[in-house]
Amino acid sequence: MTITERNQKLYDLREKMHKLETQLAWVKQEIWIVNDQYDRQDLNLFEEMFGTDVTYTETAYDTPMAEEVYGG
């Protein structure tokens, strides 16, 4: 391999690396945009997962297991 061939190969590889870095930056930006759009919706995660909005009540701990573990 001559120095000219080496330099051409390095140039080609650097060009390829620059192109891939640009694509990676674009993908990272798309991920950020998707997460930002989701966060701006301000959804109730529990309601999204289970389809209902359940708030804390005392009856949530009225089970035999709760009495055993939490003392009542």
Q: What is the dihedral of CA 35, 41, 46, 49, to 10 degrees?
A: -70
* pLDDT tens per residue, range 7-52: 999 999 999 999 999 999 999 999 999 999 998 998 888 887 887 7
CA-CA-CA-CA torsion sign (42, 46, 48, 51) = negative
Domain range for 20 is: 3-70
Instruction: Evaluate if residue 63 carries a pLDDT over 80.
Output: no
> Is residue 61 within 8 Å of 70, Cβ to Cβ?
yes
Among 4-8, 52-56, 59-63, the range scoring the smallest mean pLDDT is 59-63
In this prediction, residue 52 carries a pLDDT of 74
Tell me how many domains the chain contains. 1
**54 Cβ partners below 8 Å, 6+ apart?**
46
The alpha carbon of 35 is separated from its chain's Cα centroid by a whole number of angstroms, namely 7
